[in-house]
Amino acid sequence: MSNKNVWVCLEQTDGKIAGVSYEMLSEARKLADQQSGEVCAVLMGAQVQDLAKDAFAYGADKVYICDDEKLKNYCCESYCKVLENLVKENQPDILLLAATTVGRDLAGRLASRLETGLAADCVALTLEDGSLVATRPTYGGNIMADVIFPEKRPAMCTIRPNAMSKAEPDAAKSGEVVAVALDIEEDAIRTQVKEVLAKAGGEISLADAQIIVSGGRGLGDASGFDLIREFADTLHAAVGASRAAVDAGWIPYEHQVGQTGKTVGPKLYIACGISGALQHLAGMKTSDVIVAINKDEEAPIFGVANYGIVGDLYKVIPVMIEEIKKVLAAR
């Protein structure tokens, strides 16, 4: 018999909890309160005990910690085994994981093993008649799907970063910590991280970024990204790009935003010299605020922009950088 508890698999890298984990906890708290359930968090990694207090602050009632040197790097088999054991023992109603390259890898394998439903990359969760309805974008965000879970539990979802709001943390809160042992046979481990290759010095990843500054064909050439990087640095933003800029070889693929690149939803997206092809819009149109800077007033990007600045980006952006510096310096 499953209960009405909502579980969250916290994502952490090198002892730092990812922002999406707090968003999931905040959402889990809301759902659990509606159905009088508990929020339970699972924390896996090496030397991660200290992170439990953050989970409590964001709404967890209980934190299961599997702390093991072998979990330092993500390992699909080990992480999956820990979660499988916990789910089978505790029978949660709902289980949330992050829609990142780790969470999606883990959730896909686990759902298949548990023979339960999994909705990917969800942006909203609601309860209808006591059952979860998960809303997720499909077709590059052109169609939304409401997914239901008729019988099998837990209802599993991966949650898109930046899609749900974070509650105010309450540092005074605490709860029960349950230590969990890693219980997996050596030969069941079939994949091993040999090396972690970090991003170039201090670069902010598109997935985590609150602000993204993107450049497109309108930059004219590769050196245009120097200005985009300077703009991004001023705002502590990540650098994005349109497919046209990536195809032109001006910037590596990992910066590509769009249907065949990354889907992002930051608080602020600044599109510079990007016309706004359908495939690009699919990757960024759920951003909270969109600013477009483009010479061509007819560009489709202006159709989705909250603020459309019609002008030469090489004249506009340097002034914006100086203005923003002034604003930030005055704070």
Partner 1 sequence: MNILVCVKQVPDNAVVPKLDPATDRVIKEGVETMVSPFDLNAVEAGLKLAEEHGGEVTVLTLGDDTCKTSLRIALSMGAAKAYLVSDPALEESDTWATSYALAKAIKSIGEFDVILCGKQAIDDDAGQVGAGIAEQLGASLVSYVNEITEVTADALTVKRVSPAGEELVQAKLPVLLTCEKSLNEPRYPTLKRTRMANRMEIPVLDCAAIGADAGKVGKNSPSAIKKLYTPAPRQSGEVIKGDAEEIAKIGVAKLVEQKII
Phi-psi label, residue 182: left if phi above 0, alpha if psi -120 to 50, beta otherwise:
beta
φ, ψ (nearest 5 deg) of residue 153: -130, 150
Side-chain half-sphere CA neighbours of 249 within 13 A: 0
Q: Counting contacts by CB under 8 A, is residue 89 touching partner 1?
A: no
- Out of 10, 42, 52, 102, the only residue in the binding site for partner 1 (CB under 8 A) is 102
Residues in 216-235 that interact with partner 1 by CB under 8 A = 235
Point out which span in 41-49, 54-62, 137-145, 167-175 binds partner 1 (CB under 8 A). 137-145
Taking CB under 8 A as the rule, does residue 165 contact partner 1?
no
End-to-end distance of the chain based on CA atoms, in angstroms? 55
Contact between 198 and partner 1 per CB under 8 A: yes
Q: Which is nearer to partner 1, 56 or 275 (CB)?
A: 275
Q: Residue 186 class from Cβ within 10 Å (0-12 exposed, 13-18 middle, 19+ buried)? A: exposed
Question: How many residues lie near partner 1 (CB under 8 A)?
Answer: 97
91 touches partner 1 (CB under 8 A):
no
Q: Using CB under 8 A, which of the segments 30-38, 85-93, 166-174, 288-296 binds partner 1?
A: 288-296
Spatial distance between the Cα atoms of 216 and 272, rounded to a whole number of angstroms: 6
Cα–Cα distance between 101 and 290 in angstroms, integer?
Answer: 25
User: Of 51-80, which residues contact partner 1 (CB under 8 A)?
Assistant: 73-74, 76
Alpha-carbon gap, residue 101 to 111, rounded angstroms = 16
Q: Which stretch binds partner 1 (CB under 8 A): 12-20, 35-43, 64-72, 214-222?
A: 12-20
Contacts of 168 (CB under 8 A, 6+ apart): none
302 forms part of the interface with partner 1 (CB under 8 A): yes
Among 34, 47, 49, 101, binds partner 1 (CB under 8 A): 101
Other C-beta atoms closer than 10 Å to the C-beta of 196 total 10
* 109 binding partner 1? (CB under 8 A): yes
| Residue 141 touches partner 1, criterion: CB under 8 A | yes
Q: Which of 47, 49, 146, 220 binds partner 1 (CB under 8 A)?
A: 146
Q: What tokens does 108 get? A: 């896909």
